[in-house]
Amino acid sequence: MAAQNGDNRPVERILISRAMPGMELARDIYSRNNQVILNAGSVLDAQKISKIMFYAVDTITVYKQATSESGMTLTQQLKNSVEFREFTQNYDNTVSALKDQMNKVITENAELDEDFLVGEVDRMIMATGGKSRIFNMLHCIRDYDELTYMHSVNVSLICNCFAKWLGMNEDEQRVLTLAGLLHDVGKTAIPREILHKPDSLTPEEYAIVKTHTIKGYDSIKEKHIDDRIKMAVLQHHERADGSGYPYGKTADQIDNFAMITAIADVYDAMTSDRIYRPRICPFEVVRSFENDGYSKFDPQFLVPLLEQISEVYMNHTVRLSDDKVGKIVLMNKQELSKPIVQVDDTFVDLSRQRGVKISEIL
């Protein structure tokens, strides 16, 4: 059975009694007098299921849930896929290309080959099969050793997703992707023993690390690079409440591209393994943004980005803090860090069960 809109994902026709929150409609649903009730692509929730039942529709066509008969989680399936192997190869190539380009800019005063770098990122995105899968790919690739260049590639991919989610045109997408790639160029001038120190930094060492924004800006300010990229390099540690560095700028003084890059930078840094701590679950990161982020980052960017990041993990298998394992079936728009998780035949609403949270995406 084929889905509408040319989507090649497998579909199945099920009884409405088997419908569950989180399922995605593969075909339009019509009433008996041929009026559209719900369009293909709609993600079911309790209200939509009730609406379908109200119209006495017996069966619906949905995309098959992405779990295999072997019981593998989405993450396990992805790691075993041809797409992931291709992605990791392209990822390694992009990291090497970025390292080479940065070294030439710093040591040889060379111009940046923007077309080449954007082409490398585009090749990775093509291998993912869709922008939402980029986050899933990065989740799987977190086992890599964390290095400045890998972090920069991660941030560029996240920025690329953000640009599309925010409805930017192709030129803006290109600029934001490059901003992500180059935002930490100044760290090439910071001693490795400081950047990779497993213990806490001394105040003097932290002061040295903080110079990377100015060092990075100084290294590219005379280059033929879009000013928005230069501002992202200089301002990606500025915060809307004035608490950032290097200049303590406030919201209206921070370039929009720098603000978006900052959100991507923080998200990747928190969800990556670091020498001094393990990675943090994406839903804990979302919770941190919900609790403290609205004073630090511009809500016009933060709100839609958190909504999209959360949707990426729909239908993923997760481990809860009480050690139960279930699947995310519905997002809570009022509190994105606390979705509804199906554990066996029970639906756990984390917005109501305040003592339980998602501890790991499996």
Is residue 183 within 8 Å of 193, Cβ to Cβ? no
Give pLDDT, residue 171. 96
Give pLDDT, residue 69. 43
Give pLDDT, residue 22. 74
The pTM of the full predicted model, rounded to 2 decimals, is 0.79
Give pLDDT, residue 324. 94
The H or E element that residue 60 is part of is: strand 59-63
Helices 148-165 and 170-182 cross at an angle (nearest 10°) of 160
Tallying the residues shown for the chain, one arrives at: 362
Amino acid at 333: K
Give pLDDT, residue 73. 72
Q: Dihedral through CA 129, CA 138, CA 101, CA 276, nearest 10?
A: 180
Can you give 313-343 as a three-state secondary structure string? CCCCEEEECCCCEEEEEECCCCCCCCCEEEE
Give 203-238 pLDDT, tens digit per residue.
999 999 999 999 999 999 999 999 999 999 999 999
Q: What is the CA radius of gyration of the chain?
A: 22
- Tokens representing 105 are 């800019």
Residues 6+ apart with CB under 8 A from 340: 21, 328, 329, 330, 331, 332, 347, 348, 349, 350
Q: What is the mean pLDDT of each run of 10 residues along the chain (362 residues)?
A: 63 79 86 87 78 81 65 72 83 91 84 91 78 78 68 95 94 97 94 85 93 96 96 97 96 97 94 76 94 93 94 91 94 94 93 94 88
Give pLDDT, residue 132. 62
How far is CA 145 from its chain centroid? 19
Residues 6+ apart with CB under 8 A from 208: 190, 191, 194
